[in-house]
Structure 1
């Protein structure tokens, strides 16, 4: 397309060859149309290159054998081919490329020095093309290798998350049975063990969510209307009983959310607030004009501004107590609801804010 437009502009500089330049422009536009319509599979696209060299030859002839304007297009065509085809095709292009350059010069009676310029241009063109092809091939190989690694990683994560849930269920059942036989002093240790099995279960669920989100790009939700207060209290039964958590929720407020995903969001935020902040942790839910706003605030030292901007990224804040997936999963689950997840500064502390769009009425 660009070559065709340049050919039409060339009429302004060389009106004496307007008819030839129009032919060149038509050839360029037809070639571009064919390239856009052909399926880019097999060797069919390589034939476009051969036709392109022919158009370059016609262009040189139309300019009366002046190759200064068409030589760069020959190199450019070779560079394009290097990005798409293997090196043997580049070598096979030597014949049509050389003919496209030399034949117009010979027909128009150019001096031997001009004709001899092919001995400089063609080696340069093929060398540039081979260098580009080698780099493009390395990049394709790296991309395929990374795709294989990612496939292996996804399989390992999925397998780990699935396989760990069975043993965890057995451990939890055993711990629950032991509650009826232990002394009051041992009960505290048993409660701690139960909380840790819950945490491991949630981590396994998070890994599964990570795999699902990476694979499909979205999560399927089962949204329904739930009383906000009951939803929050049910979710926080998984948090240790002595945690200083306070509520600020309208008793009449109803949330339109996926219950399981909402619980994951809330537990991730509350667990982070208890782990990294200072009590009390305040869970507040309010309704704005277009969304329900969940806010989990702690009273700790807060988070620096530069970290807040990337807090919800994947593996952004992993450490000894986690792998850095919790807040990323929160953001993904919020976006699956059509909402957002951000961190807002407070004095003192920080507030994690998730918004859920209101249910659309028919």
Structure 2
């Protein structure tokens, strides 16, 4: 493109500029069409050789004027540095020097012009080596992160599967012991059974989170669920003495009960851990959207932390690993809703939205209502 534009500035060299443009187009077509993936990763470096040849011809065609050659030579070297090893860059030094110096010799340029190669070529090589070092570090970091992610996924899958087998035996034993138990023993066994069920759901949740990472899909078993009993059932797994419920007795949600329970446990546990009592759990419905709100009366969330509040490992500390709110958002979005934060003055207000029951059963009517 630059060669074609230059024809307007120098019509006398139109034929040379057209030849340069044609050579560049041909080189680009070869680079685009050849099946590079079938060959070793260093093979595309050979494209630099005809690239240097085009630069050498340009310098010769313009009578040894190298002002347009130098920047493109540096550009070629930078391209090579982004994709190839240091050995390739050193190997390209000879053809680069030839492409730059040979036309100057052929056109009889004075020593002062020839000496410019002693500055340009080392600078181009130094820039390329710096770029290559940074690109290599980035590739190494990416590969390391990919290995860690593969290990993490395998660990979560293995852990979740290995937990469920012995847990089933424990659960079955507790159920056998529960037959005929009375009084305090009955209460203890029932508490133990609730906790084993909770661990089983956590293992299922781990598998689901792993599934989200690998396939982006989370299977939900959505069905109508009375809001007040669902919240009370979830709170039986946490220390709920400082928790107040504000929910209409007749409100019905359309959620996966186990996932909804996981959302409640994560939000209330987070409020009790980082906030101050009382913790208020409320559910309201309006305009086709159910809104779950968990509020504490603590110091709230610092402003600098809020952007990463619902990210994975975004706000972990010694009291938690930073996954709870991320899981809440993933589960909310799987339902078609979302999770967000609002300051409460004092305290923090965590909000999760779900499509309301009538919106799930009749989405076209809900859309019309929302527009209205």
TM-score by length of structure 1 reads 0.81
Shift of 1:44: 4.8
Deviations 1:202-245 (A, max 9, x none): 443343333222223x1233354414437725852753696544
Report the counterpart of residue 355 of structure 1 in structure 2: 353
- Is 1:24 matched up with 2:14? no
Report the counterpart of residue 45 of structure 2 in structure 1: 46
- Structure 2: give runs of 5+ residues left out of the alignment: 366-372
Out of 42-51 and 332-341, give the one that drifted further. Answer: 42-51
Whole-Å separation in 2 of the counterparts to 1:179 and 1:24: 88
Aligned pairs for 1:154-193 within 5 A:
154-180=153-179, 184-185=183-184, 189-190=188-189, 193=192
Q: Number of aligned pairs?
A: 355
Root-mean-square deviation over aligned CA pairs = 3.3
- Is 1:267 matched up with 2:265? yes
Shift of 1:145: 2.5
Deviations 1:254-274 (A, max 9, x none): 52x444433322332233345
Whole-Å separation in 1 of the counterparts to 2:190 and 2:272: 17
Shift of 1:70: 0.7
- Structure 1: give runs of 5+ residues left out of the alignment: none
Aligned pairs for 1:110-125 within 5 A:
110-125=109-124
Task: Check conservation: 1:206, 1:326, Cα contact below 8 A.
Answer: no
Whole-Å separation in 1 of the counterparts to 2:162 and 2:332: 27
Shift of 1:302: 3.9
Matched residue of 1:351: which SS?
strand
Shift of 1:199: 4.4
Shift of 1:172: 3.4
Whole-Å separation in 2 of the counterparts to 1:207 and 1:154: 10
Shift of 1:53: 0.9
Report the counterpart of residue 220 of structure 2 in structure 1: 222
Report the counterpart of residue 327 of structure 1 in structure 2: 325
Shift of 1:67: 0.8
Report the counterpart of residue 148 of structure 2 in structure 1: 149
Task: Check conservation: 1:293, 1:353, Cα contact below 8 A.
Answer: yes
- Is 1:292 matched up with 2:283? no
TM-score by length of structure 2 reads 0.80
Change (3 A) 1:30 1:287: farther
Task: Check conservation: 2:164, 2:200, Cα contact below 8 A.
Answer: yes
Change (3 A) 1:121 1:275: closer
